[in-house]
Structure 1
């Protein structure tokens, strides 16, 4: 038989103890003291949340409502009336699919790390202790925070990664656009992801830049020159039209800034669209609601949606060369965007190349977990006969050298972790495990030596290692003459640089070997190849110069 308190909480839903007490008095005629006693002596399934609320209140809910949609709506409403920092954190996470990098939380939730304010670290720890949030390490993103109900699911993590890449591309586009219009100092734009978080006054933002346009500057009589204002932007993609909960932390930052800061700022919130109420809120606080299609046109808006859709896929069928061409032509023109696209889309190119080469069960971004925690991520995995291939993709600017730290991390952490997990699960018993590093850049001699040394230490029956470079992959793509689009995408968008063009002039130094039969190149062979490429490069460049001088 359910208790009076359980009946009230079941009917009212998750609520503050003051609301439950009032309903107990109204429904059962209890005195205020008796109602407080019922709440203090509550029994399962009525639970309370371990978070501080004003006037000694507690947040009550039924066990089966924990982590539900109505639980979070009621909790957010209760927190908004008591402590805004907690509410803004839940609003920020809810607007971003329930998970985000910890380093972005201060900006997204309007958390000021100042005396008298709750820092992001303290707030997260309290919500973790209350079992509302959990901290996790996501391969490629580092420390993240999310709702407990979403932290162990693949889809929210994939959507987060896709959203972050699209937002980075958009921020690069806005930076390019704004500095060309002189809305901010040309070389002083600060975007998230750098060494120092973009910040103005007490808050962090996604992009900041000092601005000397007349409407934002203030005259400094003592210095005899104007003090700059600031151009500020936050961004949220991947969720369609942003609602009032999604813009609430941004609006809070804008209103606080106007009350406490002497400087002038232009704040912009970038999104695919806004609900009517969210649009009104952004305008009321004096900020600019920046719709992508209105700023950059429908093609860019469509391309960003397509980018997010593509990056959330895990099947090789998502790798459409024509789609890549559209994305690069629409987004690659913005400074910094092409490199971000190259890194994000290279694994899809790799997956398509494996599929064309006869590999089966090709999967992109395969996560391996241990005790509910992310252990490692494999960019691309494919199977053929008795061989399982795990590919680490590094789509970097052609001619640049991949850092030795990244190679070391792949060799010493990811490869052993995945190999051990595969053996533990027995997923591919009797199959040969092959790990390869594919890159559009270069490896230093020391990095190549690290790979060779590691392979010498490991028995081939355990697993084997290999490295493949851009020209090798282009040559493999050229073997599939009935599907030339992939080779064209590789050549134009992943290998298009003077160094890569020279390397393509000398196919003889990279033997034509299908993916399933290539082997690891020793350090000595790598040096011989490098010398051959340098000699050929000199000849090719000399011929090019001669042709230019002669007017050819």
Structure 2
């Protein structure tokens, strides 16, 4: 006789209502009997609390390994729990990780109490409780059984810095042409109980309602393809706030770097202004940002295929926005060290490799597999000296975690490993003393460290003019 397990193996994860109907059809039992069997079954896993009619998504434990569970969950939420789907989609679009402040914008959950609506924090607690998401106090990410994270903290955080720079430029643009009143623009601000990437007071004629001002509200989507469903969160937020009694008049903006035609038409149908980055701030600047984001999202492949491309983009970015170039200097320094190793070895280089070991997340800034060894490099592009506490955490917390992780990797465990620490500044006295002592007495690790002076000498010996110039002109302090 066909069992619940047989149906799930054949069809994949199913909502409980559909699973019960399939079971009734296969066994000849009544719908009620089949529904009770599904409810009482101990051989299946269930995700509850997100679907109409108190349904649950039913699946088998073995279905968490092939991506089928996320696909089924996303499809079920889109059709039977749309308000929850916005959250899944936002995290998926950002590579499996997103900060809370942006997720608050990209969903249509209120951030303040609103009648007949569950607030953002309550809904997110449901996602975490059902082990769909993990929350570390600042970021939400998919649980590994649902979806593998396909971006790194490095690339995500750098793209966030780019977004925030665009929002700052947009604030200046709106203020300078009189769309918003002086000094009223705010990023990540609440309006109408919902969160927005930008909010500004507008006293433009036609936006004023008698003596009450209107508002300019904006969100930003860049760095990934944008389709019709991806912009609906913004439309839904606008519908909510415009349904309020005595609602303020608004000017809605969605800032994008690219957009599918159907998404563009949908936004225009709802009277939303689409702010293309190239039209607001210039074609060349927009292209530079877009290429930079592409490199960030494909760091290892970019270093292998076009190793100097990031240096060209750095030069372009400095022309248009030196402030942003300096803000993302840390990420670019990791590319620089990865580039150096790619020149030396022609080996596999990974930027921002993350591991979970000893109960915590740890990031390998640069991870290089040479034919005869492994290099793991720590990279700090800072103006201030590196202090003892920072170095002590690297030697006593991160290195043991890295070594433990390597010992679990069958193809890596027998290779010698070297750890490097690169800084564009210098180590303070205590930090340098600790590093020197640690290197001399350690029989487990091969340790190297490079301060600004060593990096400058290193650059002189290299036969790559563009790389040497970038090291001297952008990453290192001028000589005293």
- TM-score when scaled to structure 2? 0.79
1:283–1:313 CA distance, 2 compared to 1 (3 A): same
SS of residue in 2 equivalent to 1:307: helix
Task: Report the alpha carbon displacement of residue 278 of structure 1 after superposing the two structures with TM.
Answer: 2.3
Task: Indicate the residue corresponding to 2:81 in structure 1.
Answer: 79
Q: Does 1:208 align with 2:202?
A: no
Counterpart Cα distance in 2 of 1:376 and 1:169: 24
Task: Indicate the residue corresponding to 1:338 in structure 2.
Answer: 325
Task: Report the alpha carbon displacement of residue 297 of structure 1 after superposing the two structures with TM.
Answer: 4.0
SS of residue in 1 equivalent to 2:419: strand
Counterpart Cα distance in 2 of 1:27 and 1:278: 42
Task: Report the alpha carbon displacement of residue 352 of structure 1 after superposing the two structures with TM.
Answer: 1.7
Task: Indicate the residue corresponding to 2:32 in structure 1.
Answer: 36
Contact 1:203–1:253 under 8 Å retained in 2: yes
Task: Indicate the residue corresponding to 1:476 in structure 2.
Answer: 458
Contact 1:433–1:462 under 8 Å retained in 2: no
Contact 1:269–1:289 under 8 Å retained in 2: yes
1:108–1:429 CA distance, 2 compared to 1 (3 A): same
**Counterparts in 2 of 1:433-448, with a 5 A limit?**
433-436=418-421, 438-443=422-427, 445=428, 448=429
Counterpart Cα distance in 2 of 1:300 and 1:212: 30
Task: Indicate the residue corresponding to 2:221 in structure 1.
Answer: 236
Q: Does 1:144 align with 2:146?
A: no
**Counterparts in 2 of 1:334-413, with a 5 A limit?**
334=321, 336-357=323-344, 361-370=348-357, 375-382=361-368, 388-396=374-382, 399-401=383-385, 406-407=390-391, 409-413=393-397
Task: Indicate the residue corresponding to 2:48 in structure 1.
Answer: 50
Counterpart Cα distance in 2 of 1:335 and 1:136: 34
Counterpart Cα distance in 2 of 1:294 and 1:70: 39
Q: Does 1:489 align with 2:470?
A: yes
SS of residue in 2 equivalent to 1:41: helix
**Counterparts in 2 of 1:456-535, with a 5 A limit?**
456=437, 459-463=441-445, 465=447, 467-480=449-462, 482-495=463-476, 500-501=477-478, 503=479
Q: Does 1:269 align with 2:254?
A: yes
Q: Does 1:252 align with 2:206?
A: no
Contact 1:102–1:145 under 8 Å retained in 2: no
Deviations 1:338-394 (A, max 9, x none): 1233222111111222344568554432333338x7631111234779875432112
Deviations 1:430-457 (A, max 9, x none): 8463331x233455x3xx4134235435
Counterpart Cα distance in 2 of 1:27 and 1:425: 45
Deviations 1:284-333 (A, max 9, x none): 33322223333334433332332122222226435633542234414762
Residue of 299, 306, 311 corresponding to 1:313: 299
Counterpart Cα distance in 2 of 1:489 and 1:439: 15
Residue of 290, 297, 313 corresponding to 1:326: 313
For structure 2, the residue ranges without an aligned partner over 5 or more in a row are none
1:355–1:276 CA distance, 2 compared to 1 (3 A): closer
SS of residue in 2 equivalent to 1:391: strand
Contact 2:7–2:22 under 8 Å retained in 1: no
Residue of 196, 199, 211 corresponding to 2:190: 199
Task: Indicate the residue corresponding to 1:519 in structure 2.
Answer: none
Task: Indicate the residue corresponding to 2:166 in structure 1.
Answer: 173
Deviations 1:406-437 (A, max 9, x none): 5554344323422444456584658463331x
The structure whose Rg is larger is 1
Contact 1:244–1:281 under 8 Å retained in 2: yes
1:216–1:329 CA distance, 2 compared to 1 (3 A): farther
1:129–1:451 CA distance, 2 compared to 1 (3 A): same
SS of residue in 2 equivalent to 1:114: coil
Counterpart Cα distance in 1 of 2:142 and 2:442: 40
Contact 2:110–2:119 under 8 Å retained in 1: yes
Counterpart Cα distance in 2 of 1:94 and 1:432: 34
Name the Cα RMSD after superposition: 4.0
Task: Indicate the residue corresponding to 2:399 in structure 1.
Answer: 415
Contact 2:200–2:216 under 8 Å retained in 1: yes
Contact 1:6–1:62 under 8 Å retained in 2: no
Counterpart Cα distance in 1 of 2:415 and 2:154: 34
1:479–1:25 CA distance, 2 compared to 1 (3 A): closer
Task: Report the alpha carbon displacement of residue 79 of structure 1 after superposing the two structures with TM.
Answer: 0.7
SS of residue in 2 equivalent to 1:239: coil
Task: Report the alpha carbon displacement of residue 28 of structure 1 after superposing the two structures with TM.
Answer: 9.3
Contact 1:368–1:376 under 8 Å retained in 2: yes
1:469–1:215 CA distance, 2 compared to 1 (3 A): farther
SS of residue in 2 equivalent to 1:198: strand
Task: Indicate the residue corresponding to 2:14 in structure 1.
Answer: 14
Deviations 1:16-43 (A, max 9, x none): 62x667788999997xxx3122111125
Task: Indicate the residue corresponding to 2:118 in structure 1.
Answer: 118
1:326–1:145 CA distance, 2 compared to 1 (3 A): closer
